[in-house]
Structure 1
C-alpha cells in the first residue's frame, strides 16, 4: 500500500511541473521531428517530447494551448499525436485520429486503461519511498536485529525477527544494512554512505527494552536475506516527498561528479539512477537539470605518431612533457582534450552532501567519474 501511495503521489507531483519564464521562452522544434507519431506501449511523455524538443523538460509548453489534449497525462498507446502550428506560428501537439491494428481476421484497438507516464515510475519510486543516503554514524543507536526464532543466519519473508531497541508505536519498518561509502574523488571527503534497503517488516510486539525484552517483527517482503545486526527504521522516516518538482536547469555554476550508481553498473543509460557529490549545501534541489560531460582521452604526440596517454610509454610521456615546457601552444607534446556532452540528469532526491539523479537523456553510457555541470544555453 505504501508503494502504491508513493507512486500515486509521485504522479501528482510530476504532473505539476512547470518551467521558469526566464529560460527558453520560445520553443524550438528539433530538426527532423516527425509530423505525426503513434504512441506505443512503453512510451513515456519524456520519450515523445524528446522527439520534438532538444530540452524535453519544456514539454508543458508544447501541450499547453492544445484544446484537444486537455490533460497530456492521459495519453494512451494507439493515440495519434500530430505536430501543428497555430496562427502565431507557435508549435503544439494535437490528437489526431486514433490508430487501429488491422488483420484479415479481426480489427483490434488498444485498450485505454493504462495512460503513459511522464517518467518510468518503477525506476525512481524505490528511491522516493525507501532508499536513503545517510551521513556517517546515522545508524548508530537505532534498533537492530538480534536473531530469529530459528537457528538461521539469513532470514527470509515470513520469518520472525527479535529486535533490540525501542520500536515505539510504529507498525511498519524498513530494515537497512550499511552499504558502500560515498567518497568525493576531488576532496577524498567521506560524504556519507548508502543505506541499503534489505527488507520490510511488520510489528508483532514492541517488547520491553528497559527490561531486556526484545521486540518482534515479521518480514513481509525482502530484497536480500536479513542478518543479525541489520538496523530498523520506521518506514515513515526519511520518505517525505516535496510538494512538487519544478524541473529547471541549474542557474548557478556547478562542477560536480557522478560518484556511484546504486546498482553498481559499469555504465548507466537512459532512466538509470546515479549518485552525485553535490547536495543541499551546494543549493541543489529536486527537479534541477544538469548536463553530464566526459573528458575526451588525453593524447601524447612526441614525433613518432599520436597515442592515447594510457597507451604511451614512459619515454613518450616524458618527451611529451618536455615538449609542453619548451614548445609553443600550437605544438605541444601532450594534448588535453576537451569535455564533451554525453547526457542529462534530473535530480530527484537531495541530501546534505550527495544527491540522487535519473538520466533523462544520453548519447553514450554514463559512468562513475563523469562530470556534471550547469547546462549551457
Structure 2
C-alpha cells in the first residue's frame, strides 16, 4: 500500500479536530456543570488552567487518542473543546492486570480522587468492640424486622446519655478469626445497619426513630455514636507494597465480586491510607508436572485490584475495583 494511504486517515482526523475547535469558539460557550461528588461514587479530577481532554488523556493513559473515552464518561461536557478550570470530571482507571513494561520516560503526576458517599454506612474491623450506648428492645407495633421510619424502644446502657436530636447508628458485631500462615488474625467486625434519631428519653426507656436503614434491624442490635469518616480521598495507584490478606467480605460472601466491600488484615499501623490501590493475587504453592512433585514454587497469579476506603489500626475496609477471577477470602493483597 502507498505511504500516502497510511498517513491520510490521521491527517484528516487532525484537520477536522482543529477546524471543529475553531468554529466552536465562534459560537456560544456553554459552561459544563460540576459533577456532584456528594452523590456519585468514582474517580475524579479537578480541571486546571490549560488542561484539555487531549492532554489529560495523555497524562492519565499515555495516549492522546483515549480522549473520546473521557468525553463519553462525562455527559455534562457539551463541547469536548471547552473544559473549564475548577470543574470536576470523572476519570476511569485502566485495569493493570498484567505486569507493566519498564517505562522509558517519567509519567507526569496527575492527582485523582475517589469519592465514596456511602462511607458512613460501611463496616469496619476493630481489635475490640465499640462499647454500646444502648440496645434495641422492640419496634413500637411489635414488628420483628425494623426499617426506615419505624419507631423503636431502646434500653440505655447508662454509659453515656442518649441525647434527642443527636445522630446515632445501629450496629451489630461478629467475630473474625482467620488463619494466616501459622498465626491467626482475630478482630471484631462491626456492621452498620441504620441511622437513628433519638426522640424521647425517660427513666425507663428511650424512644428513637430509624432515619435510614441499610439492613434489617432486629431486637438486640446495639446503638453507638455516629462514626464520621472522610468520603473523598486522594488516589495513590502506586503505594509501597504490603504483605496482606483478604479476611472476609462485609456480608460474609464466599465469593467477593467487583464493587463489594471487604476487609484486609493491615491498617493505619502499617502506613496504609484511604485511596491506596493494591493488587490481589492468588498463591500457587507446589505445582505437579507429569504427576511428579517438583517442589517448584510458582509466582502468585494477579487476579484483581482494590482500593482502601477506611483504616483502623490493624485492618482496612476496601472495595474491589476489578477482577479476572472469583476473589476469595485468603487471597493475597500487596
- Shorter-normalised TM-score: what interval? 0.5 to 0.7
Higher strand share: 2
Alignment correspondent of 1:70: 84
- 1:112-261 counterparts in 2 under 5 A? 124-126=116-118, 128-165=119-156, 166-181=161-176, 183=178, 185-186=180-181, 187-190=183-186, 192-208=187-203, 213-235=204-226, 238-241=227-230, 244-251=233-240, 253-261=241-249
Secondary structure at 1:338's aligned position in 2? strand
Partners of 1:298 and 1:15 in 2: CA distance: 44
TM-score, scaled relative to structure 1 = 0.57
- Aligned residue pairs: how many? 264
Partners of 2:68 and 2:142 in 1: CA distance: 59
Partners of 1:17 and 1:194 in 2: CA distance: 39
Unaligned regions of 5+ residues in structure 2, if any? 1-35, 49-57, 92-104
Tell me how far 1:206 sits from its aligned partner.
Answer: 2.5
Alignment correspondent of 1:343: 304
Secondary structure at 2:234's aligned position in 1? coil
Q: 1:145 to 1:137 in 2, by over 3 A?
A: farther
Partners of 1:146 and 1:269 in 2: CA distance: 35
Secondary structure at 1:197's aligned position in 2? strand
Secondary structure at 2:184's aligned position in 1? coil
Deviations 1:326-350 (A, max 9, x none): xxxxxxx333221122222221211
1:296 aligns to 2:284 (yes or no): yes
Partners of 2:277 and 2:144 in 1: CA distance: 44
Tell me how far 1:255 sits from its aligned partner.
Answer: 0.7
Unaligned regions of 5+ residues in structure 1, if any? 1-5, 19-25, 46-65, 77-88, 93-116, 307-315, 321-332
Secondary structure at 1:281's aligned position in 2? helix
Partners of 2:153 and 2:228 in 1: CA distance: 25
Alignment correspondent of 1:285: 273
Structure 1's consecutive aligned runs of 4 or more residues displaced over 4 angstroms after TM superposition are 9-18, 26-31, 33-36, 38-41, 89-92
Q: 1:356 to 1:184 in 2, by over 3 A?
A: farther
